[in-house]
A and B are shown apart, each in its own frame.
Chain A
Amino acid sequence: MSTKDQLSSLKGGFLEQRSNKELIEGILFSLPYLATFSLFLLYPLLKGGYMSLFEWNPFFPSESEFIGVQNYARMMSDGAFWNSLGNTLYFVVLTVPMIVIFSLGLALGVNRDIKGRGVLRAVFFSPYILTVSVAALIWIELYATGYGPINSYLSLTGINPPAWLQSYTWAMPAIAFMTMWWISGFSFVILLSARQSVPEYLYEAAKLDGAGSWRAFRDITLPQMRHAIFFVVIINLVWSFQIFGQPYIMTHGGPGKETETLVMYLYNVAFNQRNFGYAAALGYVLTGILVVVSFANYYLFRGNNE
């Protein structure tokens, strides 16, 4: 039964004036949130669109010059924009599959008859409650050349380790790896809870049919967990696209501009190059990309599973 049906059956033959009273109360109860929401979310969203059509003057906004879609056109030939888009996609490709598969593995492992399940769950989840600065600062030290433990131990084995965060090849993977440690816990908890709500009798039935564990995984676990997996993929996609803190703190976008991501570029355009209009246009385009990717992913999953 829908909310609507329940409400109308509840109200039965109440008078029209009741409805008016509920309208007023409804508005009063909604007002505080709607005011915040409109002022600090909707209004900026619209104003951003407006600003993106201007050569915005941050000091004297009224002197801003209307330039139509030039800010959008500029992106086409802006090498730094394409570079940051490429870097962001690379980061997404590195992290999303890795985090999803890794946290699925952890969830399935912890779901088994394992001693100390509560402790394991707490350990795997814990990095997620750290702020990005703490996570980044710790890993700067772990990756450090000269005294960092990772390189010290690698040198012992005779490998000549790279300067992780200064290397063209390794800087982004190093950030991706640190990110996996940092945020996998969120996906892990969701996948674990989804796995635990798969009814056991399905597995017992499959066992009676002689299905091995691989088939049980493929035919029961995956389909039963698909909503949770879908959610985890989407949320990681959205997060990865918005990566800012890790490269901002760990590499400043270097070496070269290898780890300058979209949001970092937007930040630099706004507060370093002082081009608010272009930055607002960038924000809009990034949102567009994000929406398209989310929907594409949605249809992809639909197609596979239903």
Chain B
Amino acid sequence: MTRHHLSAQQENERSSELRSYVVGYVLALILTLTPFALVAWSDLSNMKLWSVIGICALIQIVVHFRFFLHVSLAKQKREDLHLILFTTLILVIMVGGTLWIILNLYTRIMPSMLP
């Protein structure tokens, strides 16, 4: 069975999934190019640049999950969505906690190690 045996519905699904990949790719490109271009050519202040990089990265991660990994908020049997949200929670706790604790230690006892 080859392509032309697909039913109309499958043909529809195929093109909508293809569209989703293309949209995802274009969005990801924009979100990658923006921070690179800004860092290379703009003279924004460091703090502003870091914020732009951070925001673009977070949006791009969501874009990848949505368009490449097909994880969405749709009401389906979504253990995987719960899993991602829980992982994010743990990640925030562990990374946030580590930064908070260690950077605080630096300011108090090892100021030379502060970034």
- The finding on whether chains A and B are genuine partners in a shared complex, rather than unrelated, reads no
B positions within 8 Å CB-CB of A: none
A positions within 8 Å CB-CB of B: none
